[in-house]
Amino acid sequence: MTAASHPFPVTTSQAVRQALLDRAEIALVDVREEDPFAQQHPLWAANFPLSKLELEAWTRIPRRDTRIVIYGQHDGEDLAPRAASVLRRLGYTDVSLLDGGLEAWIAGGGEVFRDVNVPSKSFGELVEAKRHTPSLSATEVQALIDRKADVVIVDARRFDEYQTMNIPTSTSVPGAELVLRVRELAPDPATQVVVNCAGRTRSIIGTQSLINAGIPNPVAALRNGTIGWTLAGQTLSHGASRRAPAQVGAANLEQARAGARAIADRAGVKRIAHDALASLETPGRTVYRFDVRTPEEYADGHPPGFANAPGGQLVQETDHNAPVRGARIVLADDDDVRANMSASWLAQMGWEVYVVEPVGDALRSERGTPAANRPAAPEVPTITPATLSSWLETGDVAVIDVTASANYVKRHIPGAWFAIRAQLAQALRAIPPARRYVLTCGSSLLARFAAVDLQALTTSEVFVLEGGNAAWFDAGLPAEQGETRLAVPRTDRYRRPYEGTDNAAAAMQAYLDWEFGLIAQLDRDGTHFFEVA
């Protein structure tokens, strides 16, 4: 690709790498769907599927003059110019294409990584290697359970993941909650604490968090998480609902605060008063503000301008929450524990991180979940579920569903075709021609953007279903399940080898082998600036 072949400037792979080495702000944006992104991408690439770019850009890249470099090919088409046009329309002023795309990155010796949330996962492996984080095998933990030993097993994943599958007897304590609440679960310092997740990262980070914060108990990670448990031939539980106590005693809270503050200070986390936050908003600097408490606490009241990102998941999914590498990150809580612990890890991952000094309830004045920062949806012709139902009876209409493929498989309008918005041109080759097309999705929001794209590809009438699939099902209209009509492959989501309960053993083992190799990849890449405190 050359500058003469499109209206957008190009940036070389070497220039991107230099920006990362200079620790300058840059967003390296991969606009493919999640599955091809997960097959191979640079360490600091962030996935922004072209299909959802309007819905995500303003939230994830808040500063409109951020330096953005785009790449991504699908089925022989370079998606980057289309994405650059969208970003230009959204007001971004420093947008360029990666010269030669991912192929040039690789040809130039650039390292590529597999899977998702790779910065956090590779960092977790480095933490274990540097700190020799203790772990117990699945068989060792099973033996503790069998003999009713004095052991507490805590699951550091999100609660919904825990409910899907969990280690028998374990309790859900999502990552950032561990230091705050573990003493309530294991008040006896002799009690063995075991931390697990699905694979390795959150087990390692959770275990090391407790050690770093000075918990007196013996602590170990469940080696290889639920994957290791399954590979050992042991049985997982399902549908559990055990949670850590909501209230934390004064003595335990004070110990947690002291431990969290100490490790945050050691990691170089900065402190800032709430009334000084505006001083961080300097020209050319992106500032992400996150309240790291639980979604329920956040909705009950949070500082205005702060998004919710529970601390454990923020550390796990930093590339999603803060895709502008080199940005500033500001964290808040109400206990002076969770923000410090989360910040300590982000600082070790090379981020400039601040923790807001504790504030009173009056400054947590915003309630609920703020509306996403998105452009107005296009004005397009719409029809009601009743009208669509009558059209389906008479025929000569094709319904195209651009929702997530997982939602399509769960249930969809009978006869609807699944398509990915960015691949509508390919989808039309599979869908029989129709006089009318009706686009739908979960709520109709994405369908409205897709309708504009589709109208440019056909002379047929294009409509959007008002209220989307939710309105159709709320009206009591029929549903269909399964992969009944896939106009394009389901590449919108990468199937993690560690999620669900029906993964092949070979895939799970291959995932573990991949994680073990991440440190060597970090060394070859050289742009990470990870420093384990």
Which pLDDT value is given to residue 502?
64
Q: What is the three-class DSSP state of 177?
A: helix
Closest CA to 464 of 436, 492, 487: 436
Segment 324-352 shows an average pLDDT of: 98
pLDDT band at 2 (very low <50, low <70, confident <90, very high): very low
Question: pTM higher than 0.85 for the full model?
Answer: yes
147, pLDDT greater than 90: yes
C-alpha 447: how far from its chain's center? 23
107, pLDDT greater than 60: yes
Which pLDDT value is given to residue 500?
60
For residue 346, CA distances in Å to 54, 259, 309, 315 come to 28, 17, 13, 7
Which pLDDT value is given to residue 412?
98
Interatomic CA distance for residues 388 and 436, integer angstroms: 11
3, pLDDT greater than 80: no
CATH no. of 122-243:
3.40.250.10
272-323 tens-digit pLDDT: 999 999 999 999 999 999 999 999 999 999 999 999 999 999 999 999 999 9
Cα angle 41-46-51, degrees, rounded to a multiple of 5: 100
227-269 tens-digit pLDDT: 999 999 999 999 999 999 999 999 999 999 999 999 999 999 9
Interstrand relation of 461-465 and 436-440 (parallel, antiparallel or unpaired): parallel
360, pLDDT greater than 50: yes
Interatomic CA distance for residues 262 and 253, integer angstroms: 14
179-213 tens-digit pLDDT: 999 999 999 999 999 999 999 999 999 999 999 99
pLDDT band at 509 (very low <50, low <70, confident <90, very high): confident
Domain over 382-474 is classified CATH 3.40.250.10:
yes
Tokens of 453: 């794209």
Cα angle 87-91-97, degrees, rounded to a multiple of 5: 35
Interatomic CA distance for residues 465 and 450, integer angstroms: 12
CATH no. of 3-115:
3.40.250.10
Q: What are phi and psi of 331, to 5 degrees?
A: -120, 145
pLDDT band at 4 (very low <50, low <70, confident <90, very high): very low
- pLDDT > 90: what percent of the chain? 92
403-439 tens-digit pLDDT: 999 999 999 999 999 999 999 999 999 999 999 999 9
| Domain extent listing, the chain | 3-115, 122-243, 268-363, 382-474
Helix, strand, coil distribution of the chain in percent, nearest 5: 40, 15, 40
Contact by Cβ (8 Å): 434, 400: no
Which pLDDT value is given to residue 515?
84
DSSP string, 215-270: --S-EEEETTHHHHHHHTTPPPB-S---B--S---HHHHHHHHHHHHHHHHHHT-E
Interatomic CA distance for residues 40 and 322, integer angstroms: 20
Interatomic CA distance for residues 230 and 172, integer angstroms: 19
CATH no. of 268-363:
3.40.250.10
pLDDT band at 501 (very low <50, low <70, confident <90, very high): low
Segment 316-341 shows an average pLDDT of: 97
Q: What are phi and psi of 284, to 5 degrees?
A: 80, 5
Which pLDDT value is given to residue 396?
86
Say which residue the tokens 């050690």 belong to.
211
DSSP run (H or E) holding 520: helix 518-525
437-480 tens-digit pLDDT: 999 999 999 999 999 999 999 999 999 999 999 999 999 999 99
Q: What is the mean pLDDT of the chain?
A: 95
Closest CA to 468 of 375, 415, 403, 407: 403
Which pLDDT value is given to residue 361?
87
Interatomic CA distance for residues 141 and 329, integer angstroms: 37
pLDDT band at 367 (very low <50, low <70, confident <90, very high): very high
pLDDT band at 5 (very low <50, low <70, confident <90, very high): low
Segment 517-524 shows an average pLDDT of: 95
